[in-house]
Structure 1
Amino acid sequence: MMIRIRGRVGDWPVDLEIELDAADWAGLGQILPEVQTISSPAVKTPTAVPVDTLWQAAQDLLRQAGEISGPELLGQLEALAGNVQAAKRLVVRLRHCVQVEVKNGADAPVYRWIG
């Protein structure tokens, strides 16, 4: 049996073929018992794109609040998303959403659901 490895290492193309006989495979199986023989490469079947539940939850949060300041919105989205980076992405997404109006408040922007 033969193993073929193709890819790149930096700018260098790699195309390796390793030939193993039955004794080599048996020895390899003793060293790595969790390795299983695969008859054909695994093929990933495309799946339907899942609904972005976090985005829906962010919209629902703003819809229910009606109007909310930017820092308060970010805090609530951080609690919802679990981290600041995801919360900031949701704030940017809300800022550009057709159903959302962003006004300049006294100290921070105010997000208002208009949809």
Structure 2
Amino acid sequence: MAAALRNELDALALDGVEPRLLHHDLQAGHLVRAPRRRLLLDWELAAFGDPLSDPARLAVRLRLTDPSDAAALVRQPGPDAGRRTLYWHIHLLADAVFATDPAVRAFARARLT
């Protein structure tokens, strides 16, 4: 599966997509609401890339069952369903292999099968 996702990512045409700074580990535990402001913590995995990747990561961590639900989270509707699905699968695979929480790992593995 990893090789297939890599091939799909390599074939992705990102013409006109402006790379942005991504948190790259977006999850509920890294979002903090303080009086009069909101904070995003833990930037150690930050990287530049496709802006659709972070919402897909958040959708995986919130255990959403459809990658298009990520668009609603960040108000990014659009015709990019293929890219959203690709990033959703990449983040699921990462959790299935690398998550330290057994429940997170089990959820990701179940979604990939």
Q: TM-score category by the smaller chain?
A: 0.3 to 0.5
User: Which structure carries more relative contact order (alpha carbon 8 Å, separation 6+)?
Assistant: 2
TM-score by length of 1: 0.32
TM-score by length of 2: 0.33
Give 1 or 2 for the bigger CA radius of gyration.
Answer: 1
